[in-house]
């Protein structure tokens, strides 16, 4: 898991993001399984952005549209989180706690919670901002 989901602010030229102006507002690691799910369901798209003002778009980036974040990706992440919480509960029974499994469960939960936080930031604070994008990279 080396890729991240990033909330990135860009300046735009002719509605095209400029890489030289990019500022990462928030980021989180993203599991390969979610990257594959996004691709399989056509929720992520590759676009070309400009390296700098005045040049042609030539840098490929993968992004998730606001609509896909709101209608598809965030609900998928939240459903997965509920399943992970239920799985974590199964590793406790009365006073018996499977510590190794719980440590792993908490690590996985943390990853999914951090991704949710990035998407919620876009949805709640930057819904109308065309220059703030959700990027996979």
**Those residues with Cβ within 8 angstroms of residue 70's Cβ, 6 or more apart along the chain or in another chain:** 123
Residue 43 is predicted with a pLDDT of 97
Classify residue 14 by its DSSP letter.
Answer: T
Buried b (16+ CB within 10 A) or exposed e, 23-54: eeebbbebeeebbebbeeeebbeeeebbeeee
**6: exposed, middle or buried (C-beta count within 10 Å: 0-12, 13-18, 19+)?**
buried
* Global confidence as pTM: 0.89
Residue 96 is predicted with a pLDDT of 66
**Those residues with Cβ within 8 angstroms of residue 74's Cβ, 6 or more apart along the chain or in another chain:** 116, 119, 120, 123
CB-based contact 119:74 (threshold 8 Å): yes
CB atoms within 10 A of CB 134: 24
Residue 33 is predicted with a pLDDT of 95
How are the residues of the chain apportioned to helix, strand and coil, as percentages rounded to the nearest 5?
45, 30, 25
Residue 94 is predicted with a pLDDT of 67
Per-residue pLDDT of the chain (137 residues; tens, 9 = 90+): 689 999 999 999 999 999 999 999 999 999 999 999 999 999 999 999 999 999 999 999 999 999 999 999 999 999 999 999 998 888 777 666 777 888 899 999 999 999 999 999 999 999 999 999 999 99
Residue 97 is predicted with a pLDDT of 73
Residue 1 is predicted with a pLDDT of 64
Residue 88 is predicted with a pLDDT of 86
Pick from 56, 60, 63: nearest CA to 48: 60
């Amino acid at each position: 898991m080396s890729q991240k989901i990033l909330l990135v602010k860009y300046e735009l030229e002719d509605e095209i993001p400029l890489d030289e102006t990019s500022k990462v507002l928030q980021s989180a690691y993203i599991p390969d399984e979610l990257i594959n799910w996004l691709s399989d369901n056509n929720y992520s798209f590759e676009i070309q952005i400009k390296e700098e003002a005045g040049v042609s778009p030539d840098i490929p980036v993968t992004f998730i549209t606001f609509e896909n974040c709101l209608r598809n990706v965030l609900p998928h992440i939240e459903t997965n989180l509920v399943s992970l919480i239920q799985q974590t509960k199964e590793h406790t029974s009365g006073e018996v706690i499977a510590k190794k499994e719980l440590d792993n469960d908490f690590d996985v939960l943390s990853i999914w919670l951090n991704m949710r936080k990035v998407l919620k930031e876009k949805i709640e604070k930057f819904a109308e901002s065309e220059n703030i994008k959700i990027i996979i990279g």
